[in-house]
Amino acid sequence: MVRGSRLDQVLVCSGLRKAFGELQAVDEVSFSIARGETYGLLGPNGAGKTTSISMVAGLLRPDAGEVTVLGRRLTPTAAAAKSAVGLVPQEVAIYPDLSARENLRFFGRLQGLDRRELDTRTDEVLALIGLTDRAGDRADTFSGGMKRRLNIGIGLLHRPELLILDEPTVGVDPQSRNAILESVEDLATDGLAVLYTTHYMEEAERLCDRIAIVDKGRIVAEGTRRELIATIGEHDLVRLEIDGDVQAAVEQLRGLSELGSVEVEDDHIVCLLAGAARRLPALLGAVAEVGAVTTGVEVREPDLEDVFLHLTGAALRD
Amino acid sequence: MSAALTILGKDLRLRLRDRSLLMFAVVVPLGLTVLFSLIFPDEEGFELTAAVVDADGGQVAGGFVDGVVPALVDDGVLTRVQVTDADEARVRVADGELDVAWIVPEGFSAAVAAGRPAELEVLVAAGRTLGGEVAVGIAEGFAAQVEQVALAVAVDAAVTGPASPERIEAIATGAETAPEAIAVAELVAGEEQRLDFTSYMAAGMASFFVFFVVGTGVLGRLEESQHNTLPRLLASPIPPAAVDLGKALGSLVVGIGSMTVLVAATMLLLGADWGPLTGVAVLVVGLVLAAMGVMALVGGFARTAEQAGNFQSIVAVVLGVLGGAFFPIPGEGVLVELATSISPHGWFLRGITDLVATGQVGAVLPAAGALLAIAVVVAVPAVWLQRRSWRW
Ligand SMILES: Nc1ncnc2c1ncn2[C@@H]1O[C@H](COP(=O)(O)OP(=O)(O)O)[C@@H](O)[C@H]1O
Ligand SMILES: [Mg+2]
């Protein structure tokens, strides 16, 4: 599902594989990201998101496949390709004993920025992440949200073409989280390609132009939010709250034709079906047949959680 | 290279801000040196309080009593106390009032002149080990010149040493001539190659703590992993080896820097004797390189920085004790030799001792060579172990 010509692509990954012993952490992962596009890897913990990103950033050698950035193959010694990438690691990667400004300047120097660029970019980034007032303070005096912002700022300092953000909102209070999401939205409008990993469906829905749903090292579906939801078909989601033998009711419902899927989620039964309003009586009838009583019904449009459930049979969040 | 220097600069900045490093590098070793020299006051200020009893009055005795002893008094090594006879000297040494006494017995000069065995008695008060050795050394130096004089050394006023047969030899015709006064420096340094206590502690403590000082830097990637900054460094457009190079340089600079501060501080504040500074510099560089190699090797077996720190501490303490960083390993023999030979601390202390004893820079060469050899021998497996972290 690659859009535009290959030249438009900032990042192209093809056939990435990585195993740790017996565990196939990443299995045939291929995707590409165009200029100005925000691409999401959405998957639960352990799906292989960080491992994939480590290969994209040249930190980990793929067992198979390759990564090209702006048409150049990315390896640990490919300086030009690496310069085009800004990495924001999942764990906050800053020196607590250095100030915000010192952290920025150190990593800026490693990126090869000259003195003038270093001065101007440091000030710009400090303003962007809202740390101008605290620039001289040691990072260990910062709140969790401030550290996260500094973590992102360092990745942006050298004006990369591709920014990789690995779960940047984990462990962040709602206010800082919102600030981070807003700044990511701004970055994409500036033409940056963004690779964003998360296990929060809402973040992927809000930020990403395209989303890859990742599970057990594989991309199980890829596309825009609309396209992904369409993989379920023109289906609605019906949630039944019942009083009685849930398992028997599920068996009975599975017997009905035209039902996309029937799963149990938190003691509720979740069914996917087309034309829900018309078929609701049949569902309730099936529940009644096994002697259970329906105590609540909810019909809504499916979201990415439902897509994930539908594709993998498991919940996105545990 | 510029990336390595950037990382070096960052590490130095972090080290300077790290209170615990300042403690390990300077405050604790200096404090311990001061503490130890307070607990064990330097006997070798050589303010020996001594008496000489000349029961002989002859010409040979005069060479010692009127030649050697006044020279020692002039050099400020001795404070001479007058006593009337040998018995008074014995009592006052036994009381600890005198540190040492030399007794030239009646008939000493005549015996020497006649080629008969002659005995020079040295009395040492209990507990004046170092002072006693100096007193014996002075007497030995004199005896060596007169050849046939045997020494009778009495510690705590109990006579222990009988005259040794080798010393009783035929009369040298020139023996009547009173021997020249013997220079004290020669006597002390020539006979007993050891540092004064403060200098020994200063060198011991400095060598002990430098292992901890260089420890974190040589962990390189493990240390960066602690801050999660390793991915960020490796994702930068720099050669991956620059990370390791920069961190190793940091260890080298901090190790040499902290040793330099300690050498200067112990010299200026405590009067420690390190010998010619060029020689000290050679030994310091050798020691820091050996310490880096050993700590890198030990750290190579660890999975986390914390684990590495624990391994390193154990090895640093064991090698320090074996090398005599806290106190000289007592006794002699193959095992002691072996123990000090595998310890960089041992070689460093040996080098400083030789340097101070001879005053010659060249005297450090064996120790410096040994330190470099240790550095190379441990660096090879250390690099081999680290190689797994260099794999992309
Ligand atoms: N260095 C490693 N050694 C062994 N297993 C690893 C390593 N890194 C990741 N894994 C395993 O690979 C799987 C994917 O991990 P990861 O990429 O971190 O997932 P995510 O980022 O999606 O949470 C997990 O099962 C994890 O335990
Ligand atoms: Mg992850």
- Ligand of minimum distance to the alpha carbon of A47: 1
Least trusted range by pLDDT, from A50-59, A119-128, B135-144: B135-144
**Mean pLDDT (whole number) for B254-266:** 92
Give domain status of residue A279, yes or no: yes
For residue B29, what pLDDT is reported? 87
Looking at the DSSP assignment, which residues form a beta bridge with residue A13?
Answer: A31, A67
Tell me if A309 is assigned to some domain: no
* Dist. CA A79–CA B65, nearest whole Å: 82
Percent of chain A clearing pLDDT 70 (strictly above):
97
Is residue A317 situated within a structural domain? Answer: no
Residues B96/B47, Cβ–Cβ less than 8 Å: no
Residue scoring higher pLDDT (B223 or A159): A159
pLDDT in tens, B94-143: 888 888 888 888 888 888 877 777 778 888 877 666 677 778 778 877 77
Angle, helices B344-358 vs B277-299, to 10°: value is 180
> CATH code at A144?
3.40.50.300
Who among A83, A97, A98 is closest to B237 (CB)?
A83
Give the strand pairing for B48-54 and A259-265. unpaired
**Residue B372 — very low, low, confident or very high, per pLDDT cuts 50/70/90?**
very high
Set of chain A residues whose Cβ sits within 8 Å of the Cβ of B391: 61
Query: For residue A291, what is the domain's CATH number?
Result: 3.30.70.100
Ligand 1 centroid to A18 CA: how many Å?
A: 10
Indicate the Cα dihedral angle B359, B365, B371, B373, nearest 10°. 180
Q: Does the CA dihedral B102-B108-B109-B113 come out positive or negative?
A: negative
Distance CA B187, CA B189 (A): 6
On whether both A159 and A183 belong to a single domain, the answer is: yes
Tell which atom from ligand 1 comes closest to the C-alpha of A90: 21
Counted domains in chain A: 2
Asked whether residue B185 carries a pLDDT value surpassing 70, the answer given is: no
Which of A174, A203, A229 finishes a domain? A229
* A31 three-state secondary structure: strand
A260 contacts A294 by C-beta, under 8 angstroms: no
Half-sphere exposure at residue A285, Cβ-oriented, CA atoms within 13 angstroms: 7
Scanning A75-114 for CB atoms below 8 A from B yields: 75-77, 79-80, 82-83, 85, 87, 89, 91-98, 102, 106-107, 109-112
Which pLDDT score is estimated for B129? 64
SS3 A137: coil
Percent share of chain A, pLDDT over 90: 54
At B183 the pLDDT is: 29
Burial class (CB in 10 A: 0-12, 13-18, 19+), A71: exposed
Q: Does A140 touch chain B (CB under 8 A)?
A: no
Which residues of chain A make contact with B233, given a CB cutoff of 8 A?
A: 110
pLDDT at B219 over 70: yes
Tens digit of pLDDT for each residue in B316-343?
999 998 888 887 776 667 777 787 888 9
* Residue B182: predicted pLDDT: 29
Whole-angstrom distance, CA of residue B222 vs CA of residue B220: 6
What does the pLDDT read at residue B41? 62
Handedness of CA B354, B357, B358, B361 (dihedral sign): positive
For the segment A115-120, the average pLDDT, to the nearest whole number, is 94
Tell me the per-residue pLDDT of A181-226, one tens digit each, with 9 for 90 and over: 988 888 888 889 999 999 998 999 999 999 999 999 999 999 998 8
Structural domain range at position A242: 233-301
The pLDDT-based confidence of B71 (bands split at 50, 70, 90) is confident
Residue B192 pLDDT more than 50? no
Helix (H) or strand (E) holding A221: strand A218-223
pLDDT for B167 equals 30
Provide the 8-state DSSP code for B163. P
**Whether residue A264 is found in the same domain as residue A185:** no
pLDDT at B181: 29
Q: Are residues A215 and A262 in the same domain?
A: no
The Cα A127–Cα A133 span in angstroms is: 9
Q: Looking at the structure, do residues A144 and A258 belong to the same domain, yes or no? A: no
Please check whether residue A264 lies inside any domain of the structure: yes
* Residue that terminates a domain, selected from A179, A213, A229: A229
Q: Would the CB atoms of B239 and A77 count as touching at under 8 Å?
A: yes
Say if ligand 1 is within 6 A of residue A160 CB.
no
Please give the C-alpha separations between residue A218 and each of A57, A207, A213, A311, B5, in angstroms, as whole numbers. Answer: 19, 22, 8, 12, 41
Q: Is the same domain home to A179 and A237?
A: no
Beta strands in B105-148 (DSSP E): 118-124
Q: What is the pLDDT of residue B368?
A: 94
A150 and A278 fall within a common domain? no
Quote the pLDDT of residue B137. Answer: 78
Query: Does one domain contain both A274 and A190?
Result: no
pLDDT at B332: 66
| Cα-Cα-Cα-Cα dihedral sign, residues A202, A185, A121, A136 | negative
Q: One-letter amino acid identity for B129?
A: T
CB B50 within 8 A of CB B136: no
- How far, in whole angstroms, is CA A173 from its chain's centroid? 18
Helix (H, G, I), strand (E, B) or coil at A88: strand
The whole-model pTM stands at 0.73
Q: For residue A1, is it within any domain?
A: no
Mutate to test the pocket of ligand 1, among A20, A27, A165 (most ligand atoms within 8 A of CB): A20
Name, of A22-26, B66-70, B99-103, the range with top average pLDDT. A22-26
Chain A contacts of B240, Cβ < 8 Å?
Answer: 76-77
Any domain includes A101: yes
DSSP state of B24: I
Residue A26 alpha carbon, nearest atom of ligand 1: 14
Does residue B236 sit at the A interface (CB-CB below 8 Å)?
A: yes
Among A229, A262, A291, the domain boundary falls at A229
In a domain, A145, yes or no: yes
Specify the range with the lowest mean pLDDT, choosing from A53-57, A85-89, A268-272. Answer: A268-272
CB proximity list for B279: less than 8 A, separation 6 or greater: B351, B355, B360, B361, B363, B364
A73-86 exposure pattern, b = at least 16 Cβ within 10 A, e = fewer: ebebebbebbbbbb
Of B160, B143, B61, B73, give the one whose Cα is nearest residue B82: B73
Please choose, from the candidates B17, B248, A134, A116, the residue with its C-alpha nearest in 3D space to the C-alpha of residue A108.
Answer: A116
**Cα B104 to Cα B21: distance, rounded to the nearest angstrom:** 57
CB atoms within 10 A of CB A298: 11
Same domain, A104 and A224: yes
d(CA B99, CA B131): 7
Does the beta-carbon distance from B232 to A107 stay under 8 Å? yes
Q: Is residue A169 domain-shared with residue A262, that is, in the same domain?
A: no
Using pLDDT thresholds of 50, 70 and 90, give the confidence band for residue B166: very low
Q: Are residues A125 and A249 in the same domain?
A: no
* pLDDT value at B386 more than 90: no
- Which tokens sit at A7? 């030249």
Residue in chain B closest to A102 (alpha carbons) equals: B10
Identity of the residue numbered A135? A
Supply the pLDDT for residue B260.
94
Per-residue pLDDT reduced to its tens digit, B132-154: 777 877 887 777 777 655 555 54
Average pLDDT, chain B: 79
- Sketch out chain B's domains with CATH numbers: 2-40+196-389 (no CATH), 45-191 (3.40.190)
Query: Residue B169, class by beta-carbon neighbours within 10 Å (0-12 exposed, 13-18 middle, 19+ buried)?
Result: exposed
pLDDT of residue A7: 57
Is any Cβ of chain A less than 8 angstroms from the Cβ of B245? no
Residue B24: closest CA among B264, B216, B220 = B216
Same domain, A245 and A130: no
A199 and A113 within one domain: yes
**Residue A131 pLDDT:** 93
Structure tokens at A309: 């459930």
Among B186-195, B219-228, B255-264, the range with the most confident prediction by mean pLDDT is: B255-264
Q: How many CA atoms lie within 13 A of B36 on its CB side?
A: 21
Q: What is the pLDDT of residues B8-51, one digit of tens each?
A: 999 999 888 888 778 878 888 888 888 877 777 655 455 788 89
> What are the tens digits of pLDDT across the range A218-247?
999 999 988 888 887 777 888 889 888 888
Asked whether residue B293 carries a pLDDT value surpassing 90, the answer given is: yes
pLDDT value, residue A49: 96
- Flag the least confident range among A2-11, A20-29, A171-180: A2-11
pLDDT number for residue B188: 33
Is position A316 within any domain? no
Q: Which tens digits make up the pLDDT trace of A66-101?
A: 999 999 999 888 889 999 999 999 899 999 999 999
- The reported pLDDT for the residue numbered B191 is 36
Give residue B222's pLDDT.
82
Tell me, using a 6 A CB cutoff, whether residue A44 lines ligand 1.
no
Report CB contact under 8 Å: A98, B232.
no
Q: How far is the CA of B202 from the centre of ligand 2 (A)?
A: 50
